[in-house]
A and B are shown apart, each in its own frame.
Chain A
Amino acid sequence: MVLLAVPMVIFITLIFIWPVARFLMLSVDNSDLSNGLARTTMALDGWQAGDGVPGEPAFQALVADLAQAQRDGRDGVLAQLINQRLVGSRYLVIKTANDAALGKIAGPSVKDALLAKYPGWSNPALWAVIAANAAPYTDYYLLASLDLERDGNGAIVRIGEDRAIFLQALARTVWISFVVTLICAVIAIPLAQAIASAPPVLSKVLFAMVLFPLWTSLLIRTVIWIIVLQRNGPVNAALTTFGIVSEPLDLVYTRFSLYIAMVQVLLPMMVLSVASVMRRVPDIYMRAARSLGAPWITAWRRVQLPLIMPGILSGAAIVFVFALGYYITPALVGGPTDQMISSNIAFFTNQSLNWGMAAALSVQLLLILLVGGLLLFTARALLGRRSDA
């Protein structure tokens, strides 16, 4: 029997788990720098930024490393990685590598020759960047994804306000997902109740109507919201016809349109989750509470709500986890200030080919997803135990 599952397990491991794990490892991978500058970092062993410009051996090693990198076609990668850590050094590294490969930096003292041609190398901060990257693994990207960095002495500090963008995006991602989850939970309950308590045929019809949007592609539903909310779309047409506004409103590419689209896209999952629990809750509890004299609203709040809470929580877990990872919807209907972590991940892959940063942000996204999902499922499990007792 176990053999029947083996092909699927191998397939998913090779095609899915392995690529994802390999990619996530890039968040701590530093082999490009540590291999590319192996001789230099060895020569810098024991050197500290406070010592000033390093001596002749380090310069010789650097020129040898960069010449090698240029011949292997890896100087561009090195320059980019160093530039990420010390902005403005890309050009310096590439030019130096070119000259080093052509043997133009020579003389009785390589240090004097290089400094005469490229005085940029007299900056100890640049050498500190190289010295800090001797190990094949780095926490640089993971720290950067939390707006942190290491200063010259290796202590973890906050980066400058002007470069700090990731914590803000993290907070925004969690906040948007939270709001969407909350809206979904609140507005789904009466509809779920209708599905659970309607006569069988009507219940099936309502169920199919909730299911239908779920079967339509996410992209289509997102695109439709752009069309519906645009300046000459139906919503603005209705608003101006009824004289509610005189000028069409800019509804798309705002936080408002993002919430609308995300709620519409995720609502079916919440409704289905709540309805499936409600179906199993007989209405005798409500009737018992009412016959004992509780007003309807009290009976609902004290009896029905706790009974359906597991459904709401598992629906919330699904909606929250999906919302955290949303990429297409914020990218299409959100404005520039509504972008979430996932759009940063795509940005660092598509625009700047910064795999380390993309991977570190993915690790961050997976961690909050894990924490969010665990919290909601733990709450559900605790609740389940209480109602069993």
Chain B
Amino acid sequence: MNAARLRLVLMYGYSALLLAFMLAPLLVIVPMSLTSGNTLSFPTPGWSSRWYAELLDDPRWLSSFWNSLVIASVVTLISCVLGIPAAIGLAWGKFPGKRLIYALVAAPLVMPVVIVGVASFSFFASLGLVGNRLSIILIHSAMAVPVMLTTVMASLAGFERSLVRASASLGAGPVRTLFKVILPLIMPGVAAGSIIAFIISFDEIVVASFLSTADQRTLPRMIFSGVRESISPAIAAVAVLLIFLSGILLALAGWLQLRSERLRRKVRT
């Protein structure tokens, strides 16, 4: 084996080890969650799906899941309504103060969440809105809109603007052009942005733990409060389900990206 080949083997061998470090914990939890015992241990004393059944039986898990689902869906919707027009305006418009807007939009991305959580707690407490879903939805939306904006702007970067003029010259109004020409072409970007916006809200724990009360728990909040006692296998079961969900969403986003590349090539030719 020559030196170059050895280096290649070392590089891939090392990469495999590092990926194992990053991924193995996510996989080892699957057999652990299928335990028949009362505590999490490895190796498992026996196999059973009782902890998954427990999730369905315990109304707190279901209601927190439902809560998170509602919050994340509304957040996704708000992100679309605010983010898509802003992306079009910023990508195509020429006006002073663009940098200021970018700085404004970057703030939610870099601000440590604990500061966001404490600040929003203080803010909504003064409005009497703590423990209300609305407060969580609003803050999550502010955190998700910037991501939606950047994703949609990226998909607008390869957009053939002559299509908009063509549509206008054929007599379509701006609204019709938006829904019949622009949106179908940037749909993959919008969908990818929506998935990320959904995940940001669905997984968010810090703001949710400051703003939610015991009966308005989100799913991450429910997991968090379970971790502080002793970790029940039910938590491992939730973790497995959530890992599975993010796997599906990642695959979906990947497929959307492939589709958008193909679509763009088709438009060009």
User: Which A positions have Cβ atoms within 8 angstroms of B?
Assistant: 1-5, 7-9, 11-13, 15-20, 22-24, 26, 187, 190-191, 193-195, 206, 208-213, 215-221, 223-228, 230, 232-234, 237, 264, 267-268, 296, 321, 324-328, 332, 342-343, 345-346, 349, 355, 358, 362, 365-366, 369, 373
Query: Roughly how many angstroms separate A338 CA and B113 CA in the complex, as a whole number?
Result: 19
Query: Roughly how many angstroms separate A161 CA and B224 CA in the complex, as a whole number?
Result: 35
In the complex, chain B residues whose CB is within 8 Å of the CB of A20: 107, 111, 115-116, 119
Q: Which of A4, A24, A226 contacts B89 (CB 8 A)?
A: A4
- Which label, helix, strand, loop or mixed, suits the secondary structure of the B interface? helix
Which of the 9-residue segments B47-55, B59-67, B183-191, B247-255 touches chain A? B247-255
User: Which B positions have Cβ atoms within 8 angstroms of A?
Assistant: 3, 7, 10-12, 14-15, 18-19, 21-23, 25-26, 28-29, 32, 39-43, 81-83, 85-86, 88-90, 92-95, 101, 104-105, 107-108, 110-124, 138-139, 141-143, 145-146, 149, 199, 202-203, 205-206, 210, 220, 223-224, 227, 231, 235-236, 239, 242-243, 246-247, 249-250, 254
- Chain A nearest CB from B200 CB (Å) reads 10
- Which label, helix, strand, loop or mixed, suits the secondary structure of the A interface? helix
- Chain B nearest CB from A142 CB (Å) reads 15
Is the pair A15, B122 in contact by a Cβ cutoff of 8 Å?
A: no
Query: Roughly how many angstroms separate A191 CA and B22 CA in the complex, as a whole number?
Result: 12
- In the complex, besides A16-B107, A190-B11, A227-B236, 20 extra interface pairs with C-beta distance below 8 angstroms are A5-B89, A5-B90, A9-B86, A22-B123, A26-B122, A191-B15, A191-B19, A194-B12, A209-B19, A215-B247, A215-B250, A216-B242, A218-B203, A220-B239, A230-B231, A233-B42, A234-B28, A234-B42, A328-B206, A366-B115
The 5 closest A-B pairs by CB, nearest first: A325-B112, A1-B93, A4-B89, A217-B203, A19-B123
**Known A206-B19, A227-B236; contact A19-B41, beta-carbon cutoff 8 A:** no
Can you pick out 16 interface pairs between chain A and chain B where the beta carbons lie within 8 Å of each other? A2-B93, A4-B88, A8-B85, A11-B145, A16-B107, A20-B111, A23-B115, A191-B14, A215-B249, A219-B220, A223-B231, A224-B29, A227-B236, A228-B28, A268-B22, A345-B114
**Known A232-B42, A328-B205; contact A1-B89, beta-carbon cutoff 8 A:** yes
Query: Roughly how many angstroms separate A233 CA and B44 CA in the complex, as a whole number?
Result: 10
Q: Which of A2, A206, A325, A366 contacts B15 (CB 8 A)?
A: A206
In the complex, chain A residues whose CB is within 8 Å of the CB of B41: 232-233
- Chain A nearest CB from B164 CB (Å) reads 12
Q: Which of A223, A358, A362 contacts B227 (CB 8 A)?
A: A223
Q: Which of B26, B40, B123 contacts A221 (CB 8 A)?
A: B26
Q: Which of B39, B112, B203 contacts A369 (CB 8 A)?
A: B112
Query: Roughly how many angstroms separate A378 CA and B11 CA in the complex, as a whole number?
Result: 31
In the complex, chain A residues whose CB is within 8 Å of the CB of B145: 8, 11-12
Is the pair A23, B119 in contact by a Cβ cutoff of 8 Å?
A: yes
Is the pair A264, B122 in contact by a Cβ cutoff of 8 Å?
A: no
Query: Roughly how many angstroms separate A128 CA and B210 CA in the complex, as a whole number?
Result: 36
Query: Roughly how many angstroms separate A150 CA and B216 CA in the complex, as a whole number?
Result: 44
Is the pair A22, B105 in contact by a Cβ cutoff of 8 Å?
A: no
Query: Roughly how many angstroms separate A359 CA and B268 CA in the complex, as a whole number?
Result: 53
In the complex, chain B residues whose CB is within 8 Å of the CB of A11: 82, 141-142, 145
Is the pair A296, B3 in contact by a Cβ cutoff of 8 Å?
A: yes
What residue of chain A has the Cβ atom nearest to residue B247's Cβ?
A: A212
Is the pair B243, A8 in contact by a Cβ cutoff of 8 Å?
A: no
- Chain A nearest CB from B262 CB (Å) reads 15
